[in-house]
């Protein structure tokens, strides 16, 4: 099994900093709108030279 990063393997100070960063990231995640429904058009690929409504 591939080893995953874990806060448990950090020393106490590093863990505290990482937890603070993760808490701040959760605040940003909470801002993401969740209004996109499964029936909406999905266009996940970002290309600056696509016209906005180009199909993939």
Partner 1 sequence: MRSDPAAPPLTAAAASRALAAGRVTAAALVEDCLTRIAAQDGRLDSFVLVVAEEARRAARAADRARKAGRARGPLHGIPFALKDIYGTAGIRTTAHSRLLLDHVPKQDSTVARRLGEAGAILVGKLATHEFATGGPAFDLPFPPARNPWNTTHFTGGSSSGSGAAVAAGLVPLAMGSDTSGSIRGPAGYCGIAGFKPTYGVVSRSGVIPLANSLDHCGPMAWTVEDCALMLDAIAGHDPADPAAADRPYKSVRRGLKGGIAGMRIGVIRHFFERDVEAEPQTLAAIEAALKVLRKLGARLLPVTLPPHRDWDACCRVILYAEAYAIHERDLAERPEKYAAITRARLFAGQVVSAGDYIQALRWRRELCLRYAEAMAGLDAVVTGCTLNPAPRIDDMAKPPFFSPKGRLLMAPFSITGAPALSVCSGFSTDGLPLSLQIAGAPFADATVLRIGHAYEQATPWRERRPPL
Which residues are at the interface with partner 1 (CB under 8 A)? 2-7, 9-10, 13-14, 17-18, 20-22, 24-29, 31-34, 36, 40, 42-44, 46-49, 52
Compute the distance between CA of residue 3 and CA of residue 52 in angstroms, rounded to an integer: 40
Q: The tokens of 56 are what?
A: 């993939």
Q: How far is the CB of 55 from partner 1 (least distance, A)?
A: 13
Taking the complex as a whole, the smallest distance from the CB of residue 8 to partner 1 amounts, in Å, to: 11
Q: What is d(CA 21, CA 17) in angstroms, rounded to the nearest whole number? A: 6
Residue with tokens 């393997």: 9
Q: How far is the CB of 1 from partner 1 (least distance, A)?
A: 11
């Amino acid at each position: 099994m591939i080893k995953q990063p874990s806060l448990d393997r950090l020393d106490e100070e590093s863990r505290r900093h990482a937890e603070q960063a993760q808490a701040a990231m959760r605040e940003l995640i909470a801002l993401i709108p969740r209004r996109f429904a499964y029936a909406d058009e999905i266009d996940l690929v970002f290309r600056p030279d696509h016209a906005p409504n180009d199909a993939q």
